[in-house]
Copies of this chain bind each other. A is one copy, B any other.
Amino acid sequence: MVEYNPYLDGLFKSLADPIRRDILQRLVQAQHTISQLAAHYEMSFAAVAKHLNVLEKAKLIVKRRKGKEQIVSIAPEALRDASEYLAQFEALWNYRLDVLDQILQEDD
């Protein structure tokens, strides 16, 4: 009955880290190279690169090479997937409230 969806695992796991959310905030406004992103944080370059790998596996960002640099940009489809997953709860929840309403009306 449990629908194992590793894609959602990676998506939400990515979003659970404040550094990764901050990276997404920057990327939604403009693309950056890996170095440019790394310069904003106090941790090592390698640590930021690891965060980017996590985001990339979750399909939240894409990288493309330009010369010796790598340009990182956001991939909003995954954000939408996460958003739609949550919206589905709201739909179920509203359905439940409707059913409750009907039951109450039947008491009249």
- Which residues in B have their C-beta under 8 angstroms from that of A76? 89-90, 93
Convert A10-25 into 0s and 1s, putting 1 for each residue whose CB lies closer than 8 angstroms to a CB of B.
Answer: 0111011111011011
Convert A62-103 into 0s and 1s, putting 1 for each residue whose CB lies closer than 8 angstroms to a CB of B.
Answer: 000000000000101001101100110110110010000000
Find A21's partner among B8, B29, B79 (CB 8 Å cutoff): B8
Interface size on A, residues (CB 8 A): 37
Tell me if A44 is interfacial: C-beta within 8 Å of chain B.
Answer: no
- Which residues in B have their C-beta under 8 angstroms from that of A16? 8-9, 11-13, 16
Q: How far is the CA of A90 from the CA of B79 in the complex (A)?
A: 8
Find A13's partner among B13, B24, B87, B96 (CB 8 Å cutoff): B13
Closest 7 pairs between A and B when the two form their complex, measured CB to CB? A12-B16, A13-B16, A12-B15, A83-B86, A2-B22, A28-B92, A12-B12
